[in-house]
A = this chain, B = another copy of it.
């Protein structure tokens, strides 16, 4: 597969994947680039351009096979494998992420949930017992999780990230405001700054820019 896909195209892939999944759920087997463009509020040429990066599945006069295209994009996004994931921080947000996100749909298997609050230990979320962060290091050495979801406050994030990287975990879905890559430049990080999004909305609702 073409490894030189531009980052902007990659950033659009999850959205393609979502829309194709919707089409599948609606029982739609094929779709033209212009139909897909209308649905995604994009342009047919943009879509053809993007999808040609992966060898372009479209056939003249037929359009795209929805199931094939979805599977191919899923493979590019590595959703077709199973990596084990741990979640740190079983507060409101951590519980919601563990229960709300169907990790298995995204090539992830949630294998451990950790919190330093002793009063939570033994409680279960998403079928997993909350464990103490005291045993986190040992758990990582034994189970070699590939990704950690951080639902902890900024203050405790640095120590946690150091512990995790020391124990071989180097990929972070980071909901904290701690700037992981400032301290750990080799980490692979996706930040979710919910309040940045709220602030952007706060701006745009008064200034009529659009944020999609």
Q: Please report A residues at the B interface, Cβ cutoff 8 Å.
A: 3, 7, 10-11, 13-15, 17-18, 22, 39, 41, 76-79, 83, 91-93, 95-97, 99-101, 103, 105-108, 146-147, 154, 171, 173, 177, 179, 181-182, 188-212
CA gap between A91 and B97 in the complex, in Å: 11
Q: Which residue of the partner chain, among B79, B193, B198, B203, contacts A76 with CB atoms under 8 Å?
A: B203
CA gap between A212 and B196 in the complex, in Å: 13
Copies in the complex: 2
Query: Cβ of A106 and Cβ of B199 under 8 Å apart?
Result: yes
A188, A191, A199: which has the most chain B beta carbons within 10 Å?
A199
List of B residues within 8 angstroms of A181 by Cβ = 41, 210, 212
CA gap between A69 and B161 in the complex, in Å: 30
Give the Cβ gap from A49 to chain B, nearest Cβ, in Å: 19
- Which 9 pairs of residues, A with B, have the shortest CB-CB distance? A96-B96, A14-B196, A190-B201, A14-B199, A92-B99, A92-B96, A92-B100, A171-B205, A93-B100
